[in-house]
Amino acid sequence: LVHRRPTVAVLTTGDELRGPDRFDDVRAGLGVPDTNGPMLTALIAATGATALPLETAMDDPAELRARILQAEPADVLVTVGGASMGEADLVKRVLDALGYEPGFWRVRMRPGSPVGFGWLPRGDRRQPVLSLPGNPTSAFVTFEVLARPLLLRLAGHERTTRPRVRAVAAEAIRAPARLTYFLRVALEESDGSFRARLTGPQGSGLVSGLARAGGLAVIDEGSPGAEEGEPVTVLLLGGR
């Protein structure tokens, strides 16, 4: 049995975003690099799907609407940023105006709480729409936890979740709030067992820790986490 590769339109949003052609603005403090677009394009390709990057949309309703309409041929639309409830967060308002049917909005997880899912009417079909947060680590984690299984299922895969292993915490890995945490950890393997160590500060706007992460330590809601030497569940990254 074979399946057609899913196509995924990726729409990053925000006046502050700068691509490589405008990196002088980043150096001058006039913008931030668009890390989410290239990152998500690579993550989508790693599932076997085909990414269709759209041009970044400014915080303008007419421009957002034009980009979203441009994404109609795709099997799935992934938007990044502008999905919260702030005054400048326009994506949800534009989607609503196009007939968006919400499935859920906000998840009790960190990073990535302001994430949403629903459907857009596209003629005789409904297009799944996943709205990811704009902070890079939040976008990464919500893609891994929510978008990746969706794309693998659309491609016909039976196994859609990352492998999980039990590791030993090489340091205290704590969850300060009553949410499910996905913390970036580096893994050291020895004699068939793993030791997990945080890759550094866990702020959702930081990207350096993602580059060093071999997995996501999963701290379930209500658990205080793991002290040094205690077991911790880790969602393995890499591969398919």
Average pLDDT of the residues in 158-187: 93
pLDDT of 107: 94
Q: Are 209 and 237 in contact (CB under 8 A)?
A: no
For 228-239, the pLDDT digits (tens) are 999 999 999 986
- Is residue 12 helix, strand or coil? strand
Average pLDDT, the chain: 91
Quick one: pLDDT at residue 208?
A: 85
Percentage of residues of the chain with pLDDT beyond 90: 70
pLDDT at position 98 over 90:
yes
Please check whether residue 76 is in contact with residue 127, taking contact to mean a CB–CB distance below 8 angstroms. Answer: yes
pLDDT tens-digit map of 78-96: 999 876 655 557 898 899 9
Residue 30 has pLDDT above 60, yes or no: yes
Q: Is the pLDDT of residue 159 over 80?
A: yes
Residue 83's pLDDT is 61
Q: Is the pLDDT of residue 19 over 90?
A: no
Mean pLDDT of 110-121: 94
pTM: 0.92
Four-residue CA torsion sign, 168, 210, 199, 212: positive
Per-position DSSP letters for 187-238, written without gaps between them: EEEETTEEEEEE-S---TT--HHHHH-SEEEEE-TT--EE-TTSEEEEEE-S
Mean pLDDT of the 108-133 span: 95
Tokens matching residue 83:
């999905």
Residue the block writes with tokens 């580059």:
211
Measured between alpha carbons, how far apart are the two ends of the chain, in Å? 19
For range 181-203, the mean pLDDT: 91
CA angle 108, 204, 147 (to 5 degrees): 60
Q: Given this model, what pLDDT does residue 11 score?
A: 95
Query: For residue 118, is pLDDT > 90?
Result: yes
CA dihedral 58, 62, 64, 67 (to 10 degrees): -110
Q: Which helix (H) or strand (E) holds 120?
A: strand 116-122
For the cut 60, the answer to whether the pLDDT of residue 70 exceeds it is: yes
Return d(Cα 208, Cα 206) in angstroms, integer. Answer: 6
